[in-house]
Chain A
Amino acid sequence: MALLQISEPGQSPEPHRHRLAVGIDLGTTNSLVAAVRNGIAVVLNDHDGHALLPSIVRYLRDGQTVVGREAEAEQARDPRNTIVSVKRFMGRGLKDLTYPENSPYDFLDSPGMVQIRTVAGVKSPVEVSAEILKVLRARAEETLFGKADGELAGAVITVPAYFDDAQRQATKDAGKLAGLNVLRLLNEPTAAAIAYGLDNAAEGIYAVYDLGGGTFDISILKLSKGVFEVMATNGDAALGGDEFDQRLFCWVVERAKLAPLSAEDTRLLLTKSRVAKEFLTAYPEARISAALGSGETVDVTVTQKEFQDMTRPLVAKTLGPSRKALRDARLEWNDVKGVVMVGGATRMPHVQQMVAELFGQTPLNNLDPDKVVALGAAIQANVLAGNKAADDDWLLLDVIPLSLGIETMGGLVEKVIPRNSTIPVARAQEFTTYKDGQTAMSLHVVQGERELVSDCRSLARFELRGIPPMVAGAARIRVTFQVDADGLLSVAAREATTGVEAAIAVKPSYGLTDEQITQMLKDSFDHAKEDVHLRALKEQQVEGGRMLEATEAALREDTDLLSAEELAAVRAELEALRKTLSCTDHRTIKSAVERVNRATETFAGRRMDRSIKRALAGRKVESF
């Protein structure tokens, strides 16, 4: 007798169809990869049992790279080619960096994002980050598939909640460059909240205080019946453990009366400072001793009290954003049920103490602050890849951290989407011409809370051409901002009075165009002697297979939404796609996928409509 296997919609009927996806915490100091295995989120270790991969990349003369512990060991010997804390440079121009002169790198101020000259050529922070991601990807594939030939369904990469659009775009680009299918960019505090909330069945208002290696985030979330709703977020994208190291480093230089240091000695003492900082978390004093390349020797002792006094202003910098987040959420301190501590820097006792005073309660420390973000990301990745278990019926509603606006006359900012708007979100605003007969308009998109354009971050410049000549003020230019579930912005503009669609040219001042990424991928494959066409073919085959699977699953559920002719048309396109999967030209598969997309658009809409009706089914309009 044949056994019937019954599965919930969305669950895979066959175990081997389980799609493996990973969560990656791409940190300033350390990076991690985690995955859900047998229903439990676990961090994946390297061969030596280490979970944490130091986010350090060393470039060698032959173009090869060394990543992690091995690079860390050489950083004081080869500081110029060993990139640490690259996350601080993501989506940043040279003028945005704090103390670039204290850094050993040979920076190149290129448009959009700073670049670093290394022995292996000029590298962008996106490329450096991609090297870290590649190592994590290889670790995941080896752990999850072993010798078997497997492909990751995708990855969720975490970003600081306070990252702006340029920094998010750069992170996503790094993921693509590492050959990852980026399922979602997830805010770090939100990832932590998922891991904590699901683990503890938490309900109510929670604050996540995330002080990492280079960034600070505070997020206020409301957890209710499986919904994780971010009420507000705030932070400082240039405040983290690195700043504490820097403070101690300066103290040591002063105390030991050192002459200006070489790049090698700077890196050496910074590393020693970091080790001392970590030591002081558990011990009353730490000794810093080093023999410098200059011939000088350093031997100083710092007490916990001295360290805390010198770094207290840094901890205090987290209080303002915390208060702002709470006010934006329209809540009071006593509404907060618990404070979840995330990030290695929250281990410092004076950080714990100040947070306890601020919130009037002992913070929650029952999670590993280094791992909780990666674990949350893995749980999200598993659900996004379509492996929904019965108890995975939770939903995440996140926000954008900073307002998005457009430059108006006089260098002022007109806000289009306010900060803390739940994503996805779209908003349109009308603008007009200021000169008679004006046929083009340049639009400058910015992000930030200040009123002056010069105080906000420039994201993109657009040009709208082909506006019919009219008197000043008569044109109606409708600019639409759309922020997707990754928190990434796209902008469109259109002149409304004449109904004429005018073309827009997008010139992102940050981030890479798809062509640039393709070129970089191609270059890296040429280097690795891989066949770029084979890679593209494989990718399209995966995409085509995914498309077939998803559409067939949808048809099984909702065939009745299509008329016989419509169904036949969809089936014909599916059949055509199935045939192309075995061909050797990726473009053929791509166009078949696009045809299926077009053929199923109506169907997708109707299915969604049915979902909504189902959600509201059995409900009568209520009377008050």
Chain B
Amino acid sequence: MPVNLSQNHFELFGLPARFAIDTATLEARYHELQREVHPDRFAAASDAERRVSMQLATRVNEAYQTLKSPLRRAVYILQLRGVDPEFETNTAMPSEFLMEQMGWRERIEAASEKPEALLRLQAGLREESRKIYETLHDQLDEGLNDEAASQTARMLMFYEKLADEIDDKLAELET
């Protein structure tokens, strides 16, 4: 297949491989690319073109989702640099952080039946995540400290899990 699938996601979108990203530009590029490759553009084309179109539209969607999510973007940058963030294997987190996590968990559990309290916790989590994004920007874009960034990305993963838990609880309250 002559299509250049070896381009990385940043190259595909014509963006620098940095954690700090202009989301408006990212979205605009995404739409421009899909305008070219989306299967709806090739419904009347040959089978070969339709096949390629589906592959490419899939690829563009995957790239967009990866770059849009701060966690996935950080992990992707680390992978591009040949660093394994060891999500599965490295569970050694600072005890201070783990204590903090337990605190969050307890508060979420206590708020299980109270949507307002859950929403407050959600807002608090967003604020924490925002701070982590700044740290990731410092470590990945400025300091180029990949090891520290891996640790920060693992922390972010913990926060996202908490956010998912709150989402699930809110969803449960609605059914």
Interface residues of A (CB under 8 A from B): 19, 153-154, 183-184, 224-225, 227, 319-320, 323-324, 327, 380, 383-386, 393, 395-397, 421-426, 482, 484-485, 546-547, 550-551, 554, 593, 596-598, 600-609, 611-612, 614-616, 619, 621-624
Contacts and interface: CB of A to CB of B under 8 A. Distances in A.
A624 B45 contact: no
B48 A608 contact: no
Contacts of B54: 424, 482, 484-485
B52 A621 contact: no
Interface string B14-45: 11101010100100010111111111100111
B174 A323 contact: yes
A621 B32 CA distance: 15
B15 to A, nearest CB: 7
A335 to B, nearest CB: 15
Given A425-B61, A485-B57, 5 more contacts: A395-B35, A554-B45, A554-B46, A604-B51, A624-B16
Given A227-B31, A608-B52, A622-B25, A424 B58 contact: yes
B38 A395 contact: yes
B44 A601 contact: no
B92 interface: no
B2 A606 contact: yes
Contact of A614 (B22, B36, B58, B62): B36
Given A622-B22, A622-B25, A324 B174 contact: yes
A608 B37 contact: yes
**Of A393, A424, A550, A624, most B-chain CB atoms within 10 Å:** A424
A572 to B, nearest CB: 16
B99 interface: no
User: 6 nearest interchain CB pairs?
Assistant: A386-B44, A384-B43, A611-B36, A485-B39, A320-B174, A604-B48
B4 interface: yes
B56 interface: yes
Interface string B149-175: 000000000000000000100110011
A622 B15 contact: yes
Nearest to A319: B174
B102 interface: no
A357 to B, nearest CB: 16
Contacts of B34: 227, 395, 397
A612 B46 contact: no
Interface residues of B, number: 47
A422 B46 contact: no
Contacts of A550: 44-46, 49
Interface string B57-101: 110011011000000000000000000000000000000000000
A546 B51 CA distance: 16
Nearest to B17: A621
A600 B32 contact: no
Nearest to B46: A550
Per DSSP, are chain B's interface residues mostly helix, strand or loop, or mixed? helix
Given A612-B36, A624-B22, A600 B56 contact: no
B18 A597 contact: no
**Of B4, B48, B54, most A-chain CB atoms within 10 Å:** B48
Interface string B126-165: 0000000000000000000000000000000000000000
A424 B49 contact: no
Contacts of A609: 2-4
Interface of B: 1-4, 12-16, 18, 20, 22, 25, 29, 31-40, 43-49, 51-54, 56-58, 61-62, 64-65, 167, 170-171, 174-175
Contacts of B29: 616
A472 B144 CA distance: 40
Contacts of A396: 38, 40
Given A395-B31, A624-B18, A602 B39 contact: no
A602 B61 CA distance: 23
A606 B12 CA distance: 15
A603 B48 CA distance: 9
A423 to B, nearest CB: 8
A168 B40 CA distance: 18
Given A485-B39, A485-B40, A596 B46 contact: yes
A421 B54 CA distance: 15
A597 B48 contact: yes
B49 A615 contact: no
Nearest to B141: A624
B36 A605 contact: no
A600 B48 contact: yes
Nearest to B31: A227
A570 to B, nearest CB: 11
Nearest to A612: B36
26 contacts: A225-B31, A320-B175, A324-B174, A327-B171, A395-B34, A397-B38, A421-B61, A422-B65, A424-B39, A426-B58, A426-B62, A547-B46, A593-B47, A597-B46, A600-B48, A604-B45, A605-B52, A606-B3, A608-B3, A608-B37, A608-B49, A608-B52, A612-B33, A612-B36, A615-B33, A622-B14
Contacts of A323: 174
B49 to A, nearest CB: 4
A395 B18 contact: no
**Of A224, A227, A605, A611, most B-chain CB atoms within 10 Å:** A605
A624 B32 CA distance: 21
Contacts of A320: 174-175
Contacts of A224: 31
A550 B62 CA distance: 28
Nearest to A553: B45
B162 to A, nearest CB: 16
A168 to B, nearest CB: 15
B137 to A, nearest CB: 10
B74 to A, nearest CB: 16
A611 B60 CA distance: 13
Contacts of B13: 616
**Of A19, A385, A615, most B-chain CB atoms within 10 Å:** A615
A600 B46 contact: yes
Given A597-B47, A600-B46, A605 B20 contact: no
A258 B35 CA distance: 60
